[in-house]
Amino acid sequence: MYRKNNAKKRKIYLYDTTLRDGAQREGISFTLLDKLKITEALDELGVDYIEGGWPLSNPKDEEYFKEASRLNLKNAKLVAFGSTRRKGISPESDENLRSLLNAETETVCIFGKSWDLHVRYALKTSFEENLRMIFDSVSFLKKHSREVIFDAEHFFDGYKSNPKYALKTLESAIEAGADWLVLCDTNGGTLPHEVDSIVREVIEILKPNGFRYGIHAHNDADTAVANSLMAVLAGVDQVHGTINGYGERCGNANLCSIIPALKLKLDFKCVTSSQLKKLTEISNLVAELANVTPIPWQPYVGSTAFAHKGGVHVSPVREKSSTYEHIPPQMVGNLRRIVVSELAGKSTIILKTQELGLKLDEKDEIIDRVLKKVKRLEKVGYHFEAADASFELLIRSELGIRKHFFNLESYRVIVEKREDGKLVTEATIKLYVDGERIIQTEEGNGPVNALDRALRSALEKAYPELKNIKLTDYKVRVLQEKQGTEAVVRVLIETTDGVRTWGTIGVSPNIIEASWDALVESIEYGLMKEKNETP
């Protein structure tokens, strides 16, 4: 059985292919500026190799290597990616290999076929010509003083199909002087026990002499992270992956899970402790630049990775975090979150109020009062785990310290369908701000938008900070489907000021009232934070 200290602090080289393989995910398209920002972030994380793209594939990748060469990278080597030469031509005449040299990177990575099926049906050439293609391409790049990483594409499928030929492809790369042999599970269907067995067999047969091994796993069987870790334990020294596991089809091995597992669980050298603390930040940065919503339940870096909802969990975590946390969240730059719901106990309320800077203990009667109110409200449809701002306002109301920025006299919404087919929605609000009565009417795209516009227009003179507060999401859920149009609905609103994001909630049989409640709380919470109101 493996023991942590058996790793003997072996160095594992991290190879990131977010900018190439990750960008092949459906819906992702990084701009040149995005790619440069991600490159700098990966360098700060301590990644050893950054695969910037395939220079021959598009002008943007060609331009990337020109711009990236000007970056002051402290940890990472830039890598240009491409393929072996085409069949029937010399390396000197191959446009792809010339583009790799023109990228002027110290390191290049080329892939070649190691599965006999692909040689027959993809390359449509002989086994011997494929071996020459590998040898010639690696030799050509080595003659031009490049560090060469050879990706043995589909290696595990190839080894299972024809092990002798799969090994010959590696031997061709070795003979030509390759620095790294990367075993690729390109279709992502290999299981961890197979990876372990095959990697050990290959290393035993070829016995490294001047070259090292790597692993490049895809996630089609949901085992890419496990496969990568098993390969490391079996003897590879380089791990390929992407931030957040982005990649074609089901994605690539997720470096956001692999890096902390290597360092914290297996005690290998890869990044420093201070670099590891940047992991959550970089995960979110890449998601933002990719225009992909972060996965909340992603291990280590997800917003719910260290969230505690059940009271039976919260109480022990309060005393000793390791009772329900496998690592301290701050080690990967994440945060513990106490989620308030009908499952909450006293410990949940206490810890949550501590997060808010409100000092309460078990003896405060407010704890029981808040707990009972939360459970009562959740019973009728509230959902405070998705509305932290509403919960904070509830606490402040119970403590008598919530500031109301206006007092409502009334609101009215009119929806008019005209003879010409035009639909007009109008909202009128009457309210008081510091004793001054304000009446405001606005039209909008539907009743909620009209109310939002009228409320903002009424308040903007007294609270110019409102210009920074914007709604980013609006969700409605019917809670009693069988009651049809009489059903209670829940409205969740997400709001941001450009720095913070918060959620508020409203529940009512009337969708306008539910929306109004969530809308008002979103604005009052935003104004409270903008004005730095303290308990």
Strand residue runs (E) in 328-462? 337-338, 407-417, 423-433, 436-444
Burial of 167-195, coded b for 16+ CB within 10 Å and e otherwise, reads bbbbbbbbebbbbbbbbbbbebebebebb
DSSP annotation of 426 reads E
Q: Is the pLDDT of residue 111 over 70?
A: yes
Q: For 457, what's the count of Cα atoms within 13 Å in the CB-facing half-sphere?
A: 16
* Residue-wise pLDDT tens digits, 212-257: 999 999 999 999 999 999 999 999 999 999 999 999 999 999 999 9
Give CA torsion, residues 257, 259, 265, 271, to 10 deg.
-160
- pLDDT of 39: 97
Q: What is the mean pLDDT of residues 34-39?
A: 95
- pLDDT of 396: 83
- For residue 411, what are the β-bridge partners? 429
DSSP annotation of 534 reads -
Nearest to 514 by CA among 393, 381, 384: 381
- pLDDT of 85: 95
Task: Identify the burial level of 276 via C-beta atoms within 10 angstroms of its C-beta, where 0-12 means exposed, 13-18 middle and 19 or more buried.
Answer: buried
Q: What is the mean pLDDT of residues 29-52?
A: 96
Q: Tell me the pTM.
A: 0.72
Q: Is the pLDDT of residue 131 over 60?
A: yes
- pLDDT of 462: 93
* Residue-wise pLDDT tens digits, 279-315: 999 998 999 889 888 898 999 999 888 776 655 555 5
DSSP annotation of 11 reads B
Give CA torsion, residues 350, 351, 355, 359, to 10 deg.
30
Provide the percentage of residues in the chain whose pLDDT is more than 90: 65
Q: Is the pLDDT of residue 344 over 90?
A: no
What's the chain's average pLDDT?
89
Q: What is the mean pLDDT of residues 39-65?
A: 94
Contact 25, 253 (CB under 8 A): no
Burial of 435-458, coded b for 16+ CB within 10 Å and e otherwise, reads eeebebbbebeebbbbbbbbbbbb
CA 57 to chain centre: 26
Contact 210, 172 (CB under 8 A): no
Q: Is the pLDDT of residue 201 over 90?
A: yes
Q: Which CATH number fits domain 380-387+468-535: 3.40.50.2300, 3.30.1360.30, 3.40.50.10190, 3.30.160.340?
A: 3.30.160.340
Contact 279, 294 (CB under 8 A): no
Nearest to 181 by CA among 155, 221, 135, 214: 214
Per-residue pLDDT band for 1 (boundaries 50, 70, 90) equals very low
- pLDDT of 264: 96
Q: Is the pLDDT of residue 361 over 70?
A: no
Q: What is the mean pLDDT of residues 93-105?
A: 95
Q: What is the mean pLDDT of residues 487-498?
A: 88
**Can you give the residue ranges of every domain in the chain?**
4-290, 307-372, 380-387+468-535, 406-462
- pLDDT of 55: 92
Give CA torsion, residues 492, 493, 494, 495, to 10 deg.
-160
Identify the top-confidence range among 231-240, 356-365, 497-506. Answer: 231-240
Three-state DSSP class for residue 166: helix
Q: For 394, what's the count of Cα atoms within 13 Å in the CB-facing half-sphere?
A: 29
- Domain 4-290, classified CATH 3.30.420.10, yes or no: no
- pLDDT of 482: 67
Report the distance separating Cα 440 and Cα 438, nearest Å. 6
Per-residue pLDDT band for 381 (boundaries 50, 70, 90) equals confident
Per-residue pLDDT band for 531 (boundaries 50, 70, 90) equals confident
Identify the top-confidence range among 268-277, 287-296, 458-467. Answer: 268-277
Per-residue pLDDT band for 18 (boundaries 50, 70, 90) equals very high
- pLDDT of 463: 92
- pLDDT of 260: 98
- pLDDT of 177: 96
Q: What is the mean pLDDT of residues 440-466?
A: 92
Give the ranges where 345-434 is alpha helix by DSSP (H): 346-355, 365-379, 388-399
Report the distance separating Cα 103 and Cα 78, nearest Å. 10
Q: Is the pLDDT of residue 340 over 60?
A: no
Q: Do domains 4-290 and 380-387+468-535 have the same CATH topology?
A: no
Q: Which CATH topology does 406-462 take?
A: Double Stranded RNA Binding Domain (3.30.160)
| Amino acid identity, position 66 | K
- pLDDT of 535: 42
Q: Which CB contacts under 8 angstroms, 24+ apart, belong to 196-202?
A: 196/230, 196/231, 196/233, 196/234, 198/156, 198/159, 198/160, 199/230, 199/231, 199/234, 199/235, 199/236, 200/234, 200/235, 202/159, 202/167, 202/170
* Residue-wise pLDDT tens digits, 421-448: 888 899 999 999 999 999 999 999 899 9
Provide the percentage of residues in the chain whose pLDDT is more than 70: 89
Terminal alpha carbon distance of the chain: 54
Q: Is the pLDDT of residue 365 over 80?
A: no
Site of tokens 């913070």:
500
Per-residue pLDDT band for 458 (boundaries 50, 70, 90) equals very high
Contact 29, 58 (CB under 8 A): no
Contact 62, 95 (CB under 8 A): no
- pLDDT of 280: 93
